[in-house]
Amino acid sequence: MNLGRRLRSTALFLSLSIVFASDLIAIKVGLSGSPPLMLAGLRYFFGGLVMLLATIAFPKFRSISRKYILVALCLGVLGTIEFACLYLGMQYISAGATSIFYYTSPIFVAALATPFLKEHFSWKKASALAFGFAGVLLLFLENLSTGLVNVGGFLVLSSAFTWALGAILFKRLVESENFLPVTSLMLISAGTFLLAPSLFSEATVTVSLEFVLILTYLIIVCSAFGITLYYYLLKQYEATRVSTWLFLVPAFAVLLGWLLLGEQVQLNEILGIVCVGTSVLILNK
């Protein structure tokens, strides 16, 4: 890989990590004004519509076969399970605990990528994953003594596994020229599947300026831009490599808390960030 391409890929991975770091914080704020399935359904349905408009704007992405419509619906079902487990689980555990469970997904991706994508699993990858997950644990060390293993932890862990399963399916079945329409249809279908039960079983949304701003951010930045960038990178690089970069997400969440909220950074968090950085350096050396 030449220097220009390496710098470009690094910038894209860093952008993805920062967007995903802000995602869990925005969800936590949004849940204060909306039931979980309603919030998830609204953001993914309208995020998918934004993506559909982008698909229409680019002629090379407009056509999609029945095969890829079926793949998009399957991914939508997996997305529904992932998002429902994540949003429901976040009601019971903190954002830090959520990060620990949710970002076990790179480990699941690495485990699934070897048999299903024939990706070579080397000691280098194993070391990167070990440092990355150790870093996530250090970042949220205080959560380890507060009863993490409960219904919330189980739901978020299930969400992480489903995310990994969807990533493997997408990488295996979707061609590069089809990733944009498949992504948009996946988001729309997941949003629809989440909204349907919410309309009959959940309370109404408390509409406020804060909620509108948070929902807009989730739709445009985290869903339409962030998820599209994630699947674009997934088509360009090995699934294990893309997923390992996601260990940076909790580290960026801590840094954003320090920069934007004035939160104190503890020694364990500094060590965690060093471990996560080491993980990424090992994988990209």
Mean pLDDT, rounded, for 89-94: 79
Tell me the C-alpha distance between 239 and 166, whole Å.
Answer: 11
150, pLDDT greater than 60: yes
- Report whether pLDDT(62) > 70: no
Q: What is the tally of helices (H) and strands (E) in the chain?
A: 13, 0
Residue 146: its pLDDT value, please?
53
Q: Does residue 218 carry a pLDDT above 90?
A: yes
What are 65's two structure tokens?
């076969």
Q: Whose CA is closest to 172, among 212, 112, 249?
A: 112
Token pair listed for 267 = 């020694």
Q: Which residue has the higher pLDDT, 128 or 42?
A: 42
- Report pLDDT for 103: 81
C-alpha closest to that of 134 among 281, 279, 280? 279
Is residue 181 within 8 Å of 61, Cβ to Cβ? yes
The 10 Å Cβ neighbour count of residue 127 is: 14
For the chain, what percent of residues have pLDDT higher than 70? 91
Task: Of 56-60, 131-135, 235-239, give the lowest mean pLDDT range.
Answer: 56-60
Q: What is the mean pLDDT of the chain?
A: 84
Q: Name the pLDDT band for 263 (thresholds 50, 70, 90).
A: low
Q: Is the pLDDT of residue 58 over 80?
A: no
147 pLDDT above the threshold of 60: no
| Phi, psi for 119 (deg, rounded to 5) | -75, 135
Tokens matching residue 113: 């990528």
* Cβ-based neighbour number of residue 122 at 10 Å: 10
The pLDDT confidence band at residue 260, using thresholds 50, 70 and 90, is low
Can you tell me the mean pLDDT for 104-119? 86
Task: Quickly state the pLDDT bin for 126 (edges 50, 70, 90).
Answer: confident
Residue 285 has a pLDDT of 63
Q: Which residue has the higher pLDDT, 254 or 62?
A: 254
Domain spans of the chain, in order of start:
3-284
Distance CA 277, CA 258 (A): 18
**pLDDT level of residue 247 (50, 70, 90 thresholds):** confident
Q: How far apart are CA 186 and CA 52, in angstroms?
A: 10
Least confident residue range of 29-33, 76-80, 181-185:
29-33
Residue 261 has pLDDT above 90, yes or no: no
pLDDT at 227: 92
Cα distance between residue 143 and residue 163, in whole Å: 23
* Mean pLDDT of the region 59-85: 85
Work out the average pLDDT over 130-156.
Answer: 73
